[in-house]
Chain A
Amino acid sequence: MEIIGIWVAAFLTLCIYSFLYRDNPFYRFAEHLFVGISVGYIIIINIHQGVIPLAWEPLSEAISALWAEIVGTTTPETRNALWGLFRILPIAIGLLFFARLSPRHTWLIRYPIAILIGFGAGVAIPNVLQANIFAQTRGTIEPFAAINAGTLSAWDTFGAILIAIGVICTLTYFFFSVEHRGPVKWASKVGIGFLMIGFGAAFGNTVMGRLALLIHRVGFLLNDWLGSFGAFFG
């Protein structure tokens, strides 16, 4: 069974790489198959790892517990399961997303979206400010305290000054309230230089990442696929 899996994977890998020559039906077959299977798999995983354990099971246990309460066969466990009834509220709000399917009731979708945006913004704003603005600003300024105390090496001092220049000049480039003339122009030009170095590093790393994917696939074809020839034909 494993060998069949290896051969299917090898066939699909070759189908995808055939695009390097030119677009062809094999490539499109593999591409469509990948998209279809990915979507189907993600839906099933979300049902099994999300809907069933977080919504279906607690709610059905709670309904059974409610019935036990009514007929008088309640136990401490069933009484505890009754808390699951509170899940009706989030489940009902979540189901309002499907109101989109009915033109008459589309307006109901505003409620879950409003709750999501309200929750998302409320949670994100303080944490994002803390992690991405305050901590980063502190990280840029803090080394200067060490420079002042004389505890930073020459190389680290150079790094700290370079980072501070990079931050100030790059921010200057995005500062459009003042005309870019004189010192502001030169600062923004230095900022462009830092941006280009950043983009260059990101592009270089992207090439490295894409090559890693190729190396992994070549390793699979040479070791696993060619290695399975004996077992397949033997």
Chain B
Amino acid sequence: MLEKIMNMDRRVIFILVALVVIFPTLVPVRMPITVSEPTRNLYDFIEALPSGSTIMIAFDYGPSSLAEPEPMAKAVMQHCFSKGIKIIGMTLLPNTPTLAHKLMRKIAAENNAVYGEDYVFLGYRPGTLQVILGMGTDISSVFETDYENKTVDEIPMMENITNYDQIDLLLDLASGSTTETWIIYANTRYGLKIAAGVTAVIIAQMYPYLQTGQLIGLMPGYLGAAEYEKLLNAPGDGTIGLNTATYAHLLIIGLVILGNIAFFIQRRREG
């Protein structure tokens, strides 16, 4: 038995993980969700903004990592549109503009938001540093036209927006190191308030910035999306994903414990 556990074919684990993911997807079971302080801070910040405020969302994730940031984007955009907060979308990654533009259009249509009045998508420009620093001086010097090729200065929503001074918050939805770049250049140099929604892989890197106040809020992976959806009382993809992930985590924890027990028993027998 011990030998079998120690030499278990990795494909058995793959099948177990697949089953644990498939069953909750087919038969959803709602797990209790407790909202963490970083997510609540972001929600409270947006909640406290008056109607007509502007936030910028940087869609800094690609097609291969959209599983976690997309539910966050949906929840935050829904919140903003419901409160009359305007959204400027943009991205620092070249493979994201189509994804982000499509998502903004979809959520805006569901909330009766009008392009150019309630939201705008600027698109992508090459050169991360130059884009972040350039927008600190003049957004239209970096994005002369938006993603739909409209002159930015002629978009009604952008009339009174020149640079970061008119933006109340930047939310970076990231799957890489872009949040750190935004903090280093936009927050440190221009004092722009920054919050982040990041994939689970980079959560640990973000906590030091929360402790110092360089990030005003943080949505960590599926958990962050589910927590934000709970605060909005609108369960969505984040809640479904988190419920499914919980079962998979339990399986992995069980396998880690089993593997360790088998390892120590075997070592004792050999010793």
Residue numbers of A with Cβ under 8 A of B are 20-21, 38, 41-42, 45-46, 49-50, 53-54, 120, 123-124, 127-128, 130-132, 135-136, 138-139, 163, 198, 201-202, 205-216, 218-219, 222-223
Among B68, B202, B211, which residue has its beta carbon within 8 angstroms of that of A212? B68
A215 touches B25 (CB 8 A): yes
Provide the bound-state CA to CA distance between A126 and B23, in Å.
52
Q: Is the CB of B214 within 8 A of A205?
A: no
Assess A135 versus B214: contact at CB under 8 Å? Given A45-B124, A207-B252, A215-B244.
yes
Give residues of chain B (122-139) contacting chain A, Cβ–Cβ below 8 Å: 123-127, 129, 133
Task: Give the complex CA separation of A80 and B64 in angstroms.
Answer: 43
Contact assessment for A53 and B145 in the assembled complex, using a CB-CB cutoff below 8 Å: yes
Q: Kindly list chain B residues whose C-beta atoms are within 8 Å of the C-beta of A205.
A: 200-204, 220-221
Tell me whether B14 and A46 are in contact (CB under 8 A).
no
Q: Judging by beta carbons under 8 Å apart, are A139 and B212 in contact?
A: yes
Q: Mark B91-103, 1 if CB is under 8 A from A, else 0.
A: 0001101000000
A120 vs B68: C-alpha distance when bound (angstroms) = 31
A118 to chain B, nearest CB (A): 13
Contact: A139 with B21, CB < 8 Å?
A: no
Would you call A218 and B17 a contact (CB within 8 A)?
no
Compute how far the CA of A159 lies from the CA of B17 in the bound complex, rounded to whole angstroms.
36
In contact, A208 and B97 (Cβ under 8 angstroms): no
The answer on a CB contact under 8 Å between A212 and B11 is no
Contact of B188 among A21, A42, A120, A131 (CB under 8 A): A131
Contacts of B220 in A (CB 8 A): 205
* Distance from B147 Cβ to chain A, minimum over Cβ atoms (Å): 8
| Residue numbers in A under 8 Å from B44 (CB-CB) | none
- Assembly CA distance A209 to B95 (angstroms): 20
Q: Are the CB atoms of A49 and B67 closer together than 8 Å?
A: no
Expressed in whole angstroms, the Cα–Cα distance for A209 and B248 within the complex equals: 12
User: Which of A41, A208, A218, A223 is the most central at the interface, judged by chain B CB atoms within 10 Å of its CB?
Assistant: A208
Is B185 an interface residue, CB under 8 A from the partner? Answer: yes
Asked whether, in the complex, the Cβ of A136 is within 8 Å of the Cβ of B208, the reply is yes
CA distance A214 to B97 in the complex (A): 23
Q: Considering only CB atoms, which chain B residue lies closest to A137 in the complex? A: B212
Q: Are B201 and A209 in contact (CB under 8 A)?
A: yes
B contact set with A: CB distance below 8 Å: 11, 14, 17-18, 21-22, 25-26, 64-68, 94-95, 97, 123-127, 129, 133, 144-145, 180, 183-185, 187-189, 199-205, 208, 211-214, 220-222, 237, 240-241, 244-245, 248-249, 252
State A210–B222 Cα separation when bound (angstroms). 11
Chain A contacts for B180, CB-based, 8 A: 131
Contact A49 B123 (CB under 8 A): yes
Residue of B nearest to A135 (CB): B212
Query: CB-CB < 8 A to B124: which residues of A?
Result: 45, 49-50
Kindly list 9 other residue pairs between chains A and B, CB separation below 8 angstroms, not including A46-B126, A49-B94, A127-B188. Answer: A20-B11, A21-B11, A138-B212, A139-B211, A208-B245, A213-B65, A215-B25, A215-B245, A218-B244
For B144, list chain A residues within 8 Å (CB).
53
Partner of A45, one of B11, B95, B183, B252: B95
- Across the interface, B129 reaches (CB within 8 A) one of A53, A123, A207, A211, namely A123
Which chain B residues lie closer than 8 Å to A131 at the CB level?
180, 183-184, 187-188, 214
In the complex the two chains form, is B200's CB within 8 Å of A212's CB? yes
Q: How far is the CA of A88 from the CA of B202 in the complex (A)?
A: 40
Which of chain A's residues has its CB closest to B68's CB? A212
Question: Are B129's CB and A120's CB within 8 A?
Answer: yes
For residue B244, which residues in chain A have a CB less than 8 angstroms away from its CB? 215, 218-219
Q: How far is the CB of A10 from chain B (nearest CB, A)?
A: 15
Contacts of A207 in B (CB 8 A): 249, 252
Inter-subunit contact A218/B208 (CB<8 Å):
no
Selected contact of A128 from candidates B125, B184, B245, CB within 8 Å: B184
B9 to chain A, nearest CB (A): 11
Query: Chain A's nearest CB lies how many Å from the CB of B154?
Result: 14
Contacts of A218 in B (CB 8 A): 18, 21-22, 25, 244
Determine the chain A residues whose CB is within 8 A of the CB of B249 once the complex forms: 207-208, 211
Determine whether the beta carbon of A130 is less than 8 Å from that of B212: no
* Contact present for B200 and A209 (CB under 8 Å): yes
Task: Give B152 Cβ to nearest chain A Cβ, in Å.
Answer: 11
The CA-CA distance from A45 to B140 in the complex, in Å, is 19
A128-B145 Cα distance, complex, nearest whole Å: 31
